[in-house]
Amino acid sequence: MLAYIIRRLIYAIPILMGVNLITFLLFFVVNTPDDMARAQLGDKYVTGEAIELWKETNGYHQPLFFNDKEEGLTALTETIFFNKSISLFTFDFGQSESGRDITSDVSQRVWPSVMFALPTLLIGLWVNICIALLVVMFRNTGLEKAFVISFVGLMSVSYLFYIIGGQYLVTRLWNLVPVSGFQTGLDSFRFLVLPVAIGVIAGTGAGARLYRTLFLEEADQDYARTARAKGVSEVTVLFRHILPNAMIPILTNIVIVIPMLFMGSLVMESFFGIPGLGSYMIDALKSQDFAIVRTMVFIGSVLYIIGLIATDISYTLVDPRVRLN
Amino acid sequence: MMNRKATRYLAATLTTAILLTGCSGPWNNPHQESSVNQNQTVYYTNFQLPPQHFDPAISYSTDESMLIDQIYEPPLGYHFLKRPYELEPLAAESMPDVRYLNTNREEIPSDSPDVTFSKYTITLKEGIDYQPHPAFVKNSEGGYVYLFTDESETANYRTLSDFGQTATRGLDADDFLYQIKRIADPHNKAPLIGFLAQYIDGMSELTAELKTVERDGWLDLREFKMRGLERIDERTFSITIKGIYPQFSYWLAMHFFAPIPWEADRFYNNPGFKDNNLTLDWYPVGTGAYMMTRNDPNREIILERNPNFRDDFYPTEGAPGDKEAGLLADAGAKVPFIDKAIYSLDKEVLPMWTKFLQGYYDRSGENHGNVTQNFDQALTIGPEGVELTAEMQGREITLSQDVKPAVYYMGFNMLDDVVGGYSTEKQKLRQAISIAWNSEEYIEIFRNGSAIPFMGPIPPGIEGSLKGEAGINTYTHDWKNGKAVRKSIEYAKQLLTEAGYPNGRDAKTGKPLKLYLDVQAQATSKSLEDWQKRQLKKLGIELELRATDWNRYKEKMSTGNHQMFSYGWLADYPDPENFLFLLYGPQSPVACQCDGNNNANYDNPDYNKLYKQMKTMQPGLERNQLIAEMLDQVRADVPWFTGEYPKEYYLNNQWVSNTKRHGISKATLKYLKIDSEVRKQKQAEWNQPNLVPLVAGMSIFVALFVPAIRAYRRRQKLVINTDK
């Protein structure tokens, strides 16, 4: 297995390089270094000299990919792409265009993101599995139909509607929790309960519907029928026999997302004032802060690769037939 | 079994919630009341965008000014109440003493043609001290305590509260000069470095010199001389600028010219501080009424009363109507009234508005769109203009409104073959479009009446903008029954015919006239586009909209690759020059090949001549006559064909007083007053938790579960019975 993991990690290097190249291309198709300078310096009274100075001190005075004033390898290394990329691969994220230390900001903002995303994932998973198993228990009945219709209904509603509706009802009409904000420690409960609840409810339609399909495939397998024939209760059949056997596709969905939890949620963090990494990325895009954008994309790619490897490893844990060669 | 378990979990969750929240007042209170001293008067508000800079040499955004202008005190400021806006001394004892010099730097009269320099001498108030700060702490031998040589010594310092001691020192004239040198230092990336170097004598030379200096840590700018700066004594300094530029006084009221103590600059250049985000750009050091005690831009920023703040008092005079509005009730009282201001991060309008209505934010409208995006709930159009809705009046909310010193305009590219040029025909074409484009209707439909229709480049409240009949644009409006009435479409069509486009068709070729309007993709909508097309359709002209992102839009402006466009300008200072320069020929980006602000590329030699003359004149009748001539010229040429002067609103909860919008200055927090007792009472009254829906929801949940469990049990038994 170790050899497999090492091989996957080696494969990750060209993937990360490709992602970095694409990020770079996409960003600079839309923004030029001059645009970035203006975004930082403001549009009023900014002189060409001030723009040139900004570019020089922030390392954007060189050509993007090829420096025709240099010769040999330095024609490639004395470029914005090379200089900005090389530091990323050494995990030296440097400073944002406005002068803040990115590592320090990321390490501060990652925890609020996790505090919101982890309970949403775990509670959502638990709720979805329970509901899906319940539906499977009552398969081929009117109750199942009612649930499936509800799932489709829940899936059809926009995420924003859940947020705005939830905020209006729970915080404004019923005055139960604060509408937005964040505190650390025990007090964080008050601020997170609503976004987590909304996250869970909004994800229930799609989640429970998917799991129902997975469980239905297992529900009439021989082992399940044998268990029932032996007099095992339906609840035990569902939770002890069917659930573990349906774990592989569930794990595919879940393990891959776990590392991404650190990246935060763009919309929820913005509406609920959660100071996580999702809103960090949005702010960076608004202010054309390439240093933060490329760092966040890079971290996201690394976490995604870790998620994929972790998914493969988890298969071996839940299914002894799987071997990583 | 599961049913009981689930109920137990729910009960535990509810109990925890009640335990956690019950002790700090209403459950939905977003503020941590336990962190506030009950004897303190606290102002609660929000910020919408995380600030990027607090260094007064770098910061150049309204959101940042809202915070740092409470901390830094430049030599001059604005009178809180008087309108038109009036400059007054702030850190300075009196207004600057201005002398005029020739090339030999000898004093000459202001009207002499040999004036080459203007020398501004500023004397500071006595007894101004800096806020407590670790940068000033000295040991018994007189050395500075927090000076380090190695990063390992500073690893544990992450915020200012990690420093055990603080101290202060008196303000020195040299601190102002130090800050100007900081602007000149290219290392600091000050946005105004290029602009100010055009005026301040010796600045560009210092910039050139500092570019070549080898840096290893802190650079002591005191060791560098700058020709235009002079420290006369500890309370007096002078700044020499090139030529005559009366508007320089306004620049002296901006935080760019606030003092920075060299000790602070050195302190923040300690090794390792930057990696921990301990910088002057993050933790300001000022002499103002407030100091920043917490800077977490991801959550909240806290300003607290500066214990070393000088004696300062509420104004005793105001504008007409201020006394009746209760704005002079605290005349002569010592300021500030508030001990602490807590700014929480809220990016979306809905939470902001909800918190205001719940009483958790004291005011609404300090941020973009907070009031205007909830216009229908907050405001209504009454017979006398915009007024509060019945719901707001029921809550005893008050409204403060002001016309922003800004202009949003739409213009022509005067270099364009079709709409540009200065011939009579081209003038008539543009005048016809200007009449057809009904800005009154636009304001009514798209701006809820929250703006004043465009009459020229200078907004109301700024010198040169006249009221009543004298202030109307006679090329687009007539004065009838005491108000401005737009000229008829028939008249516009006649102008169009005279311009060579009868019924919107080229008289020579017979082809329909088609024009192109460049818009920013994010600032337009289908309904707006349809309305815009309808305006020109009245004349038979076809309009095509070209939407692009902001960067491409700017690029089009700078290369002149546009025909019609829209833009806006928010004044830096309340002087007509700050608007009229937007049409000054050399400011054209195409002409100067620079980031000029004359996006219409208007270049009328007569206007340019008048502008140059007006720019160096002191305010007065003579200057106003020149301004009137310039306005007439612009109205005839029509480089801008429509626009508006936006209005701004504050909504104040009933416990807030001394609140008056100031279009230019943000340094008004010290005048604001809060009645904490009323607020507490109203918060409790408005935020009673309503548990009925929650209990009802739980009951339905349980009610649904019980039959499900029964059905399951029945089914289990059925299976067993079948087996038998």
Which tens digit of pLDDT belongs to each residue from B368-390?
A: 556 667 777 888 887 777 889 99
What was the pLDDT predicted at B598?
95
CB contact under 8 A, B28 and A187: no
What was the pLDDT predicted at B13?
56
**Interchain CB contact of B61 with A (< 8 Å):** yes
Nearest CA in chain B to A181: B30
Rounded to 10°, the helix A188-219/A159-166 angle is 140
Q: Is the pLDDT of residue B360 over 90?
A: yes
- What's the average model confidence in pLDDT over A148-162? 93
Spatial separation of the C-alpha atoms in residues B548 and B543, rounded to whole Å:
16
**Residue among B543, B546, B586, B584 at smallest CA distance from B562:** B546
What was the pLDDT predicted at B1?
41
Of A35, A42, A138, the CB nearest to B551: A35
- What's the average model confidence in pLDDT over B190-218? 93
What was the pLDDT predicted at B712?
81
pTM score of the predicted model = 0.89
Backbone angles phi, psi at B365, to 5 degrees: 115, -5
What was the pLDDT predicted at A59?
86
Q: Which of B84-93, B509-518, B519-528 has the lowest mean pLDDT?
A: B519-528
Structure tokens belonging to residue B192: 């105004």
What was the pLDDT predicted at B369?
57
Spatial separation of the C-alpha atoms in residues B208 and B213, rounded to whole Å:
9
Q: Is the pLDDT of residue B19 over 80?
A: no
What was the pLDDT predicted at B5?
56
- What's the average model confidence in pLDDT over B26-50? 87
H helix and E strand count, chain A = 16, 0
- What's the average model confidence in pLDDT over B577-603? 92
Q: Is the pLDDT of residue B724 over 50?
A: no
- What's the average model confidence in pLDDT over B37-46? 90
Of A105, A108, A193, the CB nearest to B17: A193
Residue B110 exposure: Cα atoms within 13 Å on the Cβ side? 12
Of B709 and B287, the structure prediction assigns the larger pLDDT to: B287
CA dihedral A135, A141, A142, A144 (to 10 degrees): 20
Residue B67 and residue B81 in contact, taking contact as beta carbons nearer than 8 Å: no
What was the pLDDT predicted at B509?
93
Spatial separation of the C-alpha atoms in residues A42 and A34, rounded to whole Å:
11
Of the pLDDT bands very low, low, confident and very high (cuts 50, 70, 90), residue B552 is: confident
Structure tokens belonging to residue A258: 């776990």
| pLDDT above 70: percentage of residues in chain B | 95
**Residue among B178, B168, B160 at smallest CA distance from B309:** B168
Q: Is the pLDDT of residue B679 over 50?
A: yes
Of the pLDDT bands very low, low, confident and very high (cuts 50, 70, 90), residue B80 is: very high
Q: Which of B2, B14, B28, B716 to mutate to test the interface with A (most CBs of A within 10 A)?
A: B28
Spatial separation of the C-alpha atoms in residues B338 and B671, rounded to whole Å:
8
Residue B657: strand pairing partners: B673
What was the pLDDT predicted at B456?
96
Spatial separation of the C-alpha atoms in residues A112 and A198, rounded to whole Å:
17
- What's the average model confidence in pLDDT over B550-577? 92
CB contact under 8 A, A182 and B299: yes
Residue B372 and residue B649 in contact, taking contact as beta carbons nearer than 8 Å: yes
- What's the average model confidence in pLDDT over B408-430? 96
Residue B341 and residue B290 in contact, taking contact as beta carbons nearer than 8 Å: yes
What was the pLDDT predicted at B720?
56
CB contact under 8 A, A51 and B595: yes
Q: Is the pLDDT of residue A258 over 60?
A: yes
- What's the average model confidence in pLDDT over B693-697? 91
| Residue found under tokens 């209403």 | B26
Query: How near does any CA of chain A get to the CA of B23, in Å?
Result: 11
- What's the average model confidence in pLDDT over A117-137? 93
DSSP string computed for A80-113: HHHHHHHHHHTT---B-TTS-BHHHHHHHHHHHH
| pLDDT above 90: percentage of residues in chain B | 75
Structure tokens belonging to residue B661: 């919008």
What was the pLDDT predicted at B297?
84
Q: Which of A171, A198, A201 to mutate to test the interface with B (most CBs of B within 10 A)?
A: A171
What was the pLDDT predicted at B397?
94
Spatial separation of the C-alpha atoms in residues B436 and B489, rounded to whole Å:
6
Query: How near does any CA of chain B get to the CA of A32, in Å?
Result: 8
What was the pLDDT predicted at A207?
93
Phi-psi category of residue A240: left, alpha or beta, with phi > 0 → left and psi -120 to 50 → alpha? alpha
CB contact under 8 A, A178 and B719: no
What was the pLDDT predicted at B14?
55
Per residue in B393-406, pLDDT (tens digit) is 999 999 888 899 99
Q: Which of A180, A226, A281 to mutate to test the interface with B (most CBs of B within 10 A)?
A: A180
- CB-based contacts of A72: which residues, under 8 Å, 6+ apart? none
- From chain B, the residues in CB contact with A286 under 8 A are 49
Spatial separation of the C-alpha atoms in residues B354 and A87, rounded to whole Å:
44
Residue B167: strand pairing partners: B133
Of the pLDDT bands very low, low, confident and very high (cuts 50, 70, 90), residue B365 is: confident
Spatial separation of the C-alpha atoms in residues A281 and B499, rounded to whole Å:
52
CA-to-CA separations, B680 to B30, B33, B683, B685, B686, in angstroms, rounded:
14, 11, 5, 9, 10
Spatial separation of the C-alpha atoms in residues B343 and B292, rounded to whole Å:
11
Spatial separation of the C-alpha atoms in residues B511 and B507, rounded to whole Å:
8
Of A45, A234, A271, the CB nearest to B192: A45
- What's the average model confidence in pLDDT over B606-621? 94
Residue B655 and residue B682 in contact, taking contact as beta carbons nearer than 8 Å: yes
Per residue in B643-659, pLDDT (tens digit) is 999 998 889 999 999 99
Of the pLDDT bands very low, low, confident and very high (cuts 50, 70, 90), residue B17 is: low
CB contact under 8 A, A137 and B27: no
What was the pLDDT predicted at B24?
53
Out of B8-12, B417-421, B659-663, the most confident range is B417-421
Mean pLDDT of chain B: 91
